[in-house]
């Protein structure tokens, strides 16, 4: 039986739960998150998304013809997302020219390392990265202000459809992958899960980003 996105989730429920549930997200939901903690995340996530956009560009370069359209749509949404991050940072008077925290740096290095990975591995990692936010921002339930638009960005039905498409594309690529490539895809999935958990935690390790 070939490896699929669903089988990865089923085989690693604890790792995935850590990636998608965190006091950061429950703190947004309950209103107990400090704004400095939120701002730390906001600045580092902007820096993340810039590196992630470059990664999606590399995935596009490696993709089969029938995946080009979906990935181009994703890149179009990222163009809007980067401008949106800049607007959100400006509203909060945050400086986006900020050094990467170590966790953000590790995540960016991991994404850069995928450039030489086989396409099924790249497609699996891309799906996992997007699915982590799609789930993470939805699981707590409706987010109060000022976090509603953040939850909506990654929880809206259009984004959920996009993540489903990414899963279908990863599954299609994995369907013909060798056992070695399957093992590499699984390792990439687990690395994404680990980095996602650490990324939420970053906001709590340092509280004064951009103040
Ligand atoms: C850390 N993971 C992180 N940031 C994001 N914006 C996404 C995933 C979704 O694109």
Give the C-alpha separation, 27 to 4, whole Å: 32
Q: Where are the domains of the chain?
A: 5-205
pLDDT for residue 66 = 98
Please enumerate in sequence order all residues whose Cβ is within 8 A of that of 80, keeping only pairs 6 or more positions apart, or say none: none
pLDDT of residue 208: 45
Q: What is the DSSP string of 173-200?
A: HHTT--HHHHHHHHHHHHHHHHHHHHHH
Q: What is the mean pLDDT of residues 60-67?
A: 98
- Ligand 1 centroid to Cα of residue 184, in Å, is 21
| Cα 158 to ligand 1 centre (Å) | 16
**Mean pLDDT score across all residues of the chain:** 96
pLDDT-derived band of residue 206, with 50, 70 and 90 as boundaries?
A: low
pTM: 0.96
Q: Which of 18, 45, 55 to mutate to test the pocket of ligand 1 (most atoms within 8 A of CB)?
A: 45
CA of 48 to the centre of ligand 1 (A): 7
In this structure, how many other beta carbons lie within 10 angstroms of the beta carbon of residue 10?
A: 10
User: Does 16 have pLDDT greater than 60?
Assistant: yes
Q: Do the beta carbons of residue 151 and residue 143 sit within 8 Å?
A: yes
The ligand 1 atom nearest the CA atom of 195: 1
pLDDT > 50? residue 166: yes
Q: What is the pLDDT of residues 100-135, one digit of tens each?
A: 999 999 999 999 999 999 999 999 999 999 999 999
Q: Which atom of ligand 1 is nearest to the CA of 134?
A: 9
pLDDT bin (cut points 50, 70, 90) of residue 13 is very high
Pocket of ligand 1 (CB under 6 A): 45, 48-49, 52, 129-130, 132-133, 196, 199
Q: What is the pLDDT of residue 1?
A: 86
Indicate the fold that domain 5-205 takes in CATH: Heme Oxygenase; Chain A (1.20.910)
Ligand 1: centre distance to CA 211 (Å): 22
Distance of alpha carbon 144 from alpha carbon 141, whole angstroms: 9
* DSSP label at residue 92: T
């Amino acid at each position: 039986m070939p490896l699929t996105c669903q089988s990865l989730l089923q085989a690693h429920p604890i790792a995935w739960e850590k990636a998608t549930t965190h006091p950061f997200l429950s703190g947004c939901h309950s209103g107990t998150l400090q704004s400095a903690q939120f701002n730390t995340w906001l600045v580092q996530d902007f820096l993340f998304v810039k590196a992630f956009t470059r990664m999606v560009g590399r995935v596009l370069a490696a993709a089969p013809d029938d995946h080009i359209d979906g990935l181009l749509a994703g890149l179009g949404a990222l163009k809007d997302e980067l401008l949106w991050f800049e607007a959100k940072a400006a509203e909060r008077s945050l400086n986006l020219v900020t050094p990467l925290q170590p966790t953000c740096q590790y995540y960016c290095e991991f994404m850069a390392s995928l450039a030489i990975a086989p396409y099924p591995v790249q497609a699996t990692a891309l799906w996992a990265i997007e699915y982590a936010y799609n789930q993470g921002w939805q699981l707590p339930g409706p987010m109060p202000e000022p976090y509603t638009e953040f939850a909506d960005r990654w929880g809206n039905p259009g984004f959920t459809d996009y993540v489903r498409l990414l899963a279908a594309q990863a599954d299609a690529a994995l369907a013909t992958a060798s056992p070695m490539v399957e093992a590499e895809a699984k390792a990439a999935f687990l690395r994404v899960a680990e980095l996602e958990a650490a990324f939420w935690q970053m906001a709590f390790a340092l509280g004064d980003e951009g103040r």
